[in-house]
Amino acid sequence: MTDRPTILLDLSADLAEGLFDAALRDRLAAVGAVAHTGGSGDPAARRAADILVTGWGTPPLPGRRADAGRLGLVVHSAGTVRRLVPRSLVEDGVRVSHAAAGMARAVAELALWFTLGGLRSLPATDRTMHRDRDWHAAAPSALGATVAGTRVGVVGASRVGRVYIELVRALGATVAVHDPYLPPEEAARLGATPTGLDELLRTCPVVALHAPVTDETRGMIDAARLALVPDGGLLVNTARSALIDTPALVAELRSGRISAALDVFDTEPLPRDDPLWSLPNVTLTPHLGAVTHHSRRTQGTIVVEEVERWVRGAALEHEITAATYDRLA
């Protein structure tokens, strides 16, 4: 590392503006010489950088350390880095960090909104009110439920999952959690009961998915497991669509037996002919879980703090190591 490192912002101008206000830009400039690529992934600029700040849409890095030039630190302003930073670079000593923690609250709040609305059939009620302008036609056909007194199942005690647990517990929910990597004492601290996946699906009228997509979790909510969800149950997914067998979910939704709230899809944007558009018992949002002004600034703050730590030789707070890389989404 040079005395005054080069900090390359390899992300779009719009994203950089959303992440870094004037105060954060000043903090970056105080510790290094800041350069920009506009998200082009310019190889020469990358090789000349000591620190690379990346974001959504940034082109992947080369797999060989020899092609990375002076690069010592990559700070990703979003979540998983698996599509961006090859594992070989981590193994070869390039330090890697990310700002996933900055998005957790926003995504968890969307999952909470899905939960509150789904328990009272509010999205469908709102659509009927606007379409028919008929007070009585819009009234739900069955009584709703409150979060208080509801058993909520959480699949994945990720950063988002932990915030979601905190939120629903604060409203009085009883929480079951399935996460094979969650120590029992940590589950106890969260106030959640460790539960096998099948048992969780059988016993929870609300199931919220907060797990990463890995070889272990891909397609784990299949037709057999969807059939375990109680009649009238609600499936909330703000994580990744690959956790679910989507055709099996569509079949369950068509039956009317359960409902769902989805922010993530197999193909994004969602194709205009996708069957999900026509189903009245599914709430759809366009992958906007982390899209808030607050989360952007929090992500930017995390990036700046990690850069500052690296420059002064302190431990990184959000580092991704070779040991944790394989558990990323």
- The catalytic residue positions are 240, 268, 287
Q: Tell me which amino acid residue 288 is.
A: L
CA distance 51 to 70: 9
CA distance 66 to 68: 6
CA distance 131 to 117: 18
CA distance 265 to 17: 27
Which residues are CB-contacts of 306 (< 8 A; sequence separation ≥ 6)? 73, 75, 97, 99, 316, 317, 318
In angstroms, what CA-CA distances link 102 with 83, 123, 186, 299?
19, 28, 21, 5
The beta-strand segments (E) located in the chain are 6-10, 33-36, 51-54, 73-76, 95-98, 151-155, 174-178, 192-194, 206-209, 234-237, 259-262, 282-284, 319-320
At 292 the three-state DSSP class reads coil
Q: Tell me which amino acid residue 49 is.
A: A
Q: Tell me which amino acid residue 322 is.
A: A
Is 192 within 8 Å of 154 (Cβ atoms)? yes
At 177 the three-state DSSP class reads strand
Query: What percentage of the chain's residues is helix, strand, coil (to nearest 5)?
Result: 40, 15, 45
